[in-house]
Structure 1
């Protein structure tokens, strides 16, 4: 919802500046997303008079102007065909930024002649679309004065985010009412003209859909003269990003923004028979004002005549019956549409509009007569014409609502003590009626107020949300016990471990498209009513989002992509907490090229598992193949504890990389957090390095092709408690088809240095354990 400060002051008698208004809006619970001022961008531009205009000596289409901008004559080269002596326009000096051209002016030579700035067109200053010549101002415009100030453009514009429950603030007057209640000024009376109709309407109006359109009011106006809107109306609409179309259309947009009351105007010459609110019929369609054709269903309310549909009721008018410059007779529609029906229709058609935003929140059902009168008055003032009497078809749902209120509930529910008299004044200033027994009558424009808690909220936000004290919950005596669950501790610990390994945390959507889910086995969970097709499937893996994020990073020149995410993946049986990570294989660090590929992915997975479950568990894991099909079939694996998968790792499949737009190899992995056990952190002793030197021994074993190296690794680690680490460093295949694996075993003495006999005994146990695992010592 956008509005300007001057527009607000049409309803609010106040001397507050923009900063004060913004602060007050925030204080009463209306979020200010931004405050802008067109005058800031136009500050350097001043009103100037062209003193002389001579032909450029080197170019027929250019002129050399002598321009007075208040500081004496300056030479300016100009190519505008309307540049001439005596013209008053807008001058941009050197150093000024021209928003429509995205350039900063400087003194420059144009075809050999020095130019000191420029005379500007409307498009160059983003004041309109005119670009055929420079702006021509009235001859009495004061030379040397800032253009924005003279033109009244110094008018801050507020962009306020309105929550769905505050339908009353979808108009400037509703926001002014809140500010007046907060003490920022006085709400001005609303001027509603009394318009006597001149005979019956020339078009019959009725509603045949009392559920979708309970009330359909309207009148005809004959003999109007449509055309461009006056400057005040055009500037006011354009300031809030509404394109000025014509006086009749602009009037409806103005009343909608000003009072939160959408209306529509029909060209009577394009109608055949009565104008009726009814349900759409099978096979009907309508070309809307946005140029698109929409297929309608019997669940949708439309406005139609005897020939066909002209309007998607409460959402968007039709192209066929819209007014044009030649329009002379019109029908002004002012209707009340059911909010739920509007929401369903808009969602089904995928169509949004300013009118829909207001009708689906619920406009004031008691404001039909006044809204129609105000719109008619503007039409008569700007376009002339002869109004008919008002036709009122149906009746709006105006049912008085009351709430029995107890002021003592405010400190109990709201946390602040507001005197009863002040509470009464706040409610009355917001339009509520407060009886002597505290029976509160809810105004027709506040359909969100339903009980005592809602009234307490109104009192508290006007008294000031910033005055609600921050009161901590009562804490039990003594030291509080930890409340984090094991699952939370696992996530907390593994998140820190991933960050310590140089991975950057990412957060991606849990919803992905069917196309994104297909390479990862498809989605087992599909939404019945997704926001869009691109967010239809609950992700079966964390990798689709991480791969897409990696692609975006690479596309922006980031070579070393290191991402991880902790979240849920959604399998057919349940949702599973998971950590996923992606690394680019060719990443380069400070020390040169870092190891990449499946080995790096495996190292990441094992390190993260060790951080959560301890090194002992990580060493007991065995590696199996194959991993899931989205990994490279020969460069990936599954880490298992017994028969239970704990993690997958490896390089991503080349076809997946091509589909994702990644031109370089990438490795990835997923850790299944619900398969990890939490290692309890006991009291950690101070770091004390072992004073005894470790001993390293190399072995070479022959292993059959069908025996995984992980089994040999695990067997050697279990051979003796003094085996600290096992590292494979060589592999080649023998003519017999077997593999020769060379490995280094690190032995760490505990009490004293090893003797030769102890080393031989440990080596014998290692060889025996290897033979039991199916390997033999290479001769």
Structure 2
């Protein structure tokens, strides 16, 4: 946002210097980015007098001028058609910076003739658009005098950043109000006297969607004489980077920056039938004022007549109905548009305009009628004409929000000690209406300040006007020692399991925490509370009950691309409910295809035993003593019946499930089988009882272990695990390992029974076992097995 110093003083009566004004702006939160003072840029430029002007010997269009300057008589080559003897000119010496051509002058030879300086045009000094010739200064101008003395006082341009929450400062009047509240001057009376209408507004105006365009004020002025705007208006527009077009257009551009009140002027002769604010229609198009054509969509607010779209509401008008030099009757539009819809229209079309910038941040509803009255007065002063009455379609919002404000909040939130009378003065100067009470004020917020909704916002208003530099400094209390919490065991377990599975040949996968609802149903389904309200994809609509569905989909993709063997694992969440305790930490693995190579470079298709072995591997890495685990021959329904199991420290504390994935599940997910899988529930693993992290003693023996084989006949219902557990407990000090190596059913074994052959490893600790010792241990082993009904073969 840019404005000139003289422009500001149209709203603010002040004697403050430029530096004081910019410092005050920064102090109240208006961040000044740049100050351009034309006097500083023109400081090297002075008045020169052309004594002689002769044709260049080698160029017909160049003149070799002898110029009297403050540096003496200088020879300057000039190509301007009006360069001649006897005129006063703007002289730029060698070393001067000429802003219009972005060049610092040096000594030069032009077609072999030395030139020491430059005679400047209006555009080269950025004083206007004229460039047909060099500047001709008044005859009484003193040679050597600074050019700024001849042209009169300069008008510095202030450029500051408008924060998105302060739409009121998109106009010079809003900046003046802040500076007046800060004590830098007095805000001038900005009330607008209504212009009396001579006749009823004849152009019908309607609103089809008041959500997109709540209010539309219009006025016809007939008999105008359009042309260039006055010099003061052109100068101001040029100073802020706008090109003057004609008086009618210049007035709307001026009010956009002066009062943050965008308007639009239509050539009334080009309006067909009723002017209507409505939503766009498919197939419509706008030829906009920027010379481009834009497709209109149904979510855009447009201004249209009975024949065509004339403009995009709040963004840009159309070329067809724009005012031109021969325009005689004009219709002024002063409307309100929905900020969000305006922003979406701007993003869709890519149009960046001053109107869009203001409407998408919020234009003061109370400026509708004053804006059209002020535009009318300016147009009448510049172009003449006869105005109609003002017609308003829709309803102008007049409601003003109120905020309960305890003045004690200022000290509580900021530490500033501000007298209540000063708070009252500040808020009133900013446009708030204050109703004081005992300990609680009622503050009515002006319609131009949509950013103020809570008492803290009012505290901020008081604090920034008083000055944030006055905030009291306080020393923070000294830091207290922080007790370091013990590192959670779950991350440590996860790292250990991840390393163990990677060493086994698995590749880690990271999949979505969501999955397809149909796939989730194959793994037990999900709680209704786990359905996503706004999923990122139709096949990621629910939280996953297990990482297995996503891993199986990854297997399908890899196998479809020719992978012979796929071994993937993932550590992540499984979701049972939407309650805080409904999430579980799970380590899952899947094996598909020919399986990983063994030490002999042979491949073997994965089966339930592979899945069990790898589940035990993960549990051991998580710190579980696998010798104490119980194997239960059942499991979730997504595993193959008879080829699945669970591992736990009892039937109520299940730590893992494993097996071959059910063929029906694989068929439903189009995954080639067989696939072995396991799920290890990491957050169910009991914490270690030992409080120390030191490793236990190795307990190695220098004596050779002794192996003995036993075969027992047991009933079919007795599991091998029960037998192994019983044998292991027969002599805990000597039995270091028990392994099942054979299962036999058939001839020689009674019906309903089976033969289990096991290998028992005896590890002596302090002495070599005698034959008597071995027989005694063997007897205890047979006796322990006998408690299960086992008979030694």
Q: Does the pair score TM above 0.5? A: yes
1:347-390 Cα distance to aligned partner (Å, 9 max, x none): 33333221111111111111111111111111122222222221
- Rate the CA distance shift 1:113–1:323 in 2: closer, same or farther, 3 A: same
Q: Higher mean Cα deviation, 278-287 or 108-117?
A: 108-117
How far apart, in 1, do the equivalents of 2:204 and 2:142 lie? 53
Query: Of 459, 468, 487, which residue of structure 2 is paired with 1:465?
Result: 468
Task: State how 1:253-332 maps to structure 2 within 5 Å.
Answer: 253-332=253-332
Cα distance in 1 between the residues matched to 2:152 and 2:298: 49
After the TM superposition, which residues 232-243 of structure 1 pair with which residues of structure 2 at under 5 Å, given as runs? 232-243=232-243
Task: Report the Cα distance in structure 2 between the residues aligned to 1:573 and 1:131, rounded to whole angstroms.
Answer: 73
**Which whole-Å deviations, capped at 9, do the CAs of 1:71-114 have from their partners, x for residues lacking one?**
66543221111212343332212221223334332444444544
SS at match of 2:366: coil
SS in structure 1 opposite 2:282? coil
Q: Distance in 2 between matches of 1:335 and 1:149?
A: 44
Change (3 A) 1:300 1:485: farther
Report deviation, 1:212.
Answer: 1.0
Q: Please say if residues 205 and 275 of structure 1, whose CA atoms lie closer than 8 Å, have aligned partners that are also in contact.
A: yes
Closer, same or farther: CA 112–476 of 1 in aligned 2, 3 Å: closer
Residue 136 of structure 2: aligned partner? 136
Aligned to 2:496: none
Distance 1:483 1:89 in 2: 81
CA distance in 1: counterparts of 2:463 and 2:42, whole angstroms: 41
Distance (Å, rounded) in 1 between the aligned partners of 2:486 and 2:95: 59
Is the aligned partner of 1:215 residue 2:218?
Answer: no
CA, structure 1 residues 137+193, in 2 after alignment: closer, same or farther (shift >3 Å)? farther
Q: 2: distance between equivalents of 1:474 and 1:374?
A: 57
Change (3 A) 1:87 1:483: farther
Residues 42-69 of structure 1: CA deviation (Å, up to 9, x unaligned): 2211233434333334432222323344
Match of 1:123 in 2: 123
Contact (CA 8 Å) 1:39, 1:149: kept in 2 or not? no
2:399 match: 399
Unaligned 5+ residue runs, structure 1?
A: 487-526, 530-571, 576-643, 645-779
Task: Provide closer, same or farther for how the CA distance between residues 419 and 226 of structure 1 changes in structure 2, counting only shifts above 3 A.
Answer: same
Separation in structure 1 between the aligned mates of residue 309 and residue 323 of structure 2, nearest angstrom: 16
Shift of the 86–370 alpha-carbon distance from structure 1 to 2, 3 Å rule, reads farther
Larger Rg: 2
Does residue 1:206 correspond to 2:175, yes or no? Answer: no
Give the whole-Å Cα distance in 1 for the aligned partners of 2:215 and 2:200.
19
* SS class of match (1:62): strand
Structure 1 residues 119 and 346: CA distance shift in structure 2, 3 A? same
Compared with structure 1, are the counterparts of its residues 157 and 409 closer, same or farther at alpha carbon in structure 2 (3 Å cutoff)? same
Distance 1:46 1:386 in 2: 47
Alignment correspondent of 1:29: 29
SS at match of 1:60: strand
Question: Which of 437, 444, 457 is equivalent to 1:454?
Answer: 457
Deviations 1:600-640 (A, max 9, x none): xxxxxxxxxxxxxxxxxxxxxxxxxxxxxxxxxxxxxxxxx
> How many Å separate the matches in 2 of 1:153 and 1:275?
46
CA distance in 2, matches of 1:22, 1:92: 30
Cα drift, residue 169 of structure 1: 0.7
**96-105 or 290-299, which deviates more:** 96-105
1:195–1:377 contact (8 Å) kept in structure 2: yes
* CA pair 192-482 structure 1, distance change in 2 beyond 3 A: farther
Q: Give me the whole-angstrom Cα distance separating, in 1, the residues matched to 2:289 and 2:570.
A: 48
Match of 1:93 in 2: 93
Distance across 2 between alignment mates of 1:249 and 1:162: 24
Cα-to-partner distance string for 1:637-693 (whole Å, 9 max, x where unaligned): xxxxxxx9xxxxxxxxxxxxxxxxxxxxxxxxxxxxxxxxxxxxxxxxxxxxxxxxx
Tell me what 1:443 maps to.
446
Matches within 5 A, 1:462-541: 462-475=465-478, 477=480, 479-480=481-482
SS in 1 for 2:448: coil
Question: How far is 1:26 from its partner?
Answer: 1.5
Taking the aligned partners of 1:238 and 1:42, their CA distance within structure 2 comes to 17
Aligned-partner Cα distance in 2 for 1:574–1:156: 65
Please list the CA deviations of residues 10-46 of structure 1 after superposition, one character each: whole Å capped at 9, or x if unmatched: 1111222222222211211122222222332222112
User: In structure 2, the residue corresponding to 1:454 is in which secondary structure?
Assistant: helix
Computed over aligned residues only, the root mean square deviation of the Cα atoms, in angstroms, reads 3.3
**Structure-to-structure mapping, 1:405-420, within 5 angstroms:** 405-420=405-420
| CA distance in 2: counterparts of 1:409 and 1:343, whole angstroms | 35
Q: Partners in 2 of 1:166 and 1:454 — Cα distance?
A: 12
User: 1:38·1:153 contact (CA, 8 Å) conserved in 2?
Assistant: no
Secondary structure at 1:159's aligned position in 2?
strand
TM superposition score normalised by structure 2: 0.59
Measured after TM superposition, the shift of residue 137 of structure 1 is 4.0
Q: How does 1:624-703 map to 2 (within 5 A)?
A: none
Q: CA deviation at 1:254?
A: 0.8
Closer, same or farther in 2 for the Cα pair 1:218/1:53, shift >3 Å?
Answer: same
1:61 and 1:244 mapped to 2: Cα distance? 31
Match of 1:355 in 2: 355
Distance 1:195 1:208, change over 3 A: same
Deviation digits for residues 147-177 of structure 1 (CA, Å, limit 9, x no counterpart): 2454357332222111111111111110111
Question: Residue 50 and residue 459 in structure 1: after superposition, are their counterparts in 2 closer, same or farther (change >3 A)?
Answer: same
Q: Residues 30 and 161 of structure 1 are in contact (CA less than 8 Å); yes or no, is this contact kept in structure 2?
A: yes
Work out the CA distance in 1 between the residues paired with 2:397 and 2:85. 64
Deviation of residue 123 (structure 1)? 3.5
Paired position in structure 2 for 1:372 = 372
- Residues in 2 aligned to 1:31 and 1:573: alpha-carbon distance in whole angstroms: 51
Look up the SS of the partner of 1:220 in the other structure: strand
State the TM-score, normalized to the length of structure 1.
Answer: 0.60
Where 1:238 maps in the other structure, the secondary structure is: helix
Range 6-15 or range 338-347, more displaced: 338-347
1:454 Cα offset (Å): 1.2
Q: Tell me the alpha carbon deviations over residues 533-554 of structure 1, each in whole angstroms, 9 at most, x when there is no partner.
A: xxxxxxxxxxxxxxxxxxxxxx
Q: Secondary structure at the match of 1:324?
A: coil
- The range that moved more, 299-308 or 225-234, is 225-234
Comparing 146-155 with 459-468, greater Cα deviation is found at: 146-155
Q: Which runs of 5+ in 2 are unaligned?
A: 489-534, 538-568, 573-620, 622-793
Identify which range, 239-248 or 67-76, moves more after superposition.
Answer: 67-76
Q: 1:123-146 CA deviation, whole Å, 9 max, x = no partner?
A: 333344443322334555555332
Cα distance in 1 for partners of 2:324, 2:23 equals 42
Residue 168 of structure 2 corresponds to which residue in structure 1? Answer: 168
Q: Is the 8 A contact 1:29 1:465 kept in 2?
A: no
User: Cα deviation per residue 1:282-333 (whole Å; 9 max; x = unaligned)?
Assistant: 2212121222222222222111111011110011111211122222221111
C-alpha displacement of 1:415: 2.6
Q: Who is 2:186 aligned against?
A: 186
Over residues 155-212 of structure 1, what are the superposed CA-to-partner deviations in whole Å (9 max), with x where a residue is unaligned?
Answer: 3222211111111111111011111111111111115243222212342223222111
Corresponding residue of 2:251? 251
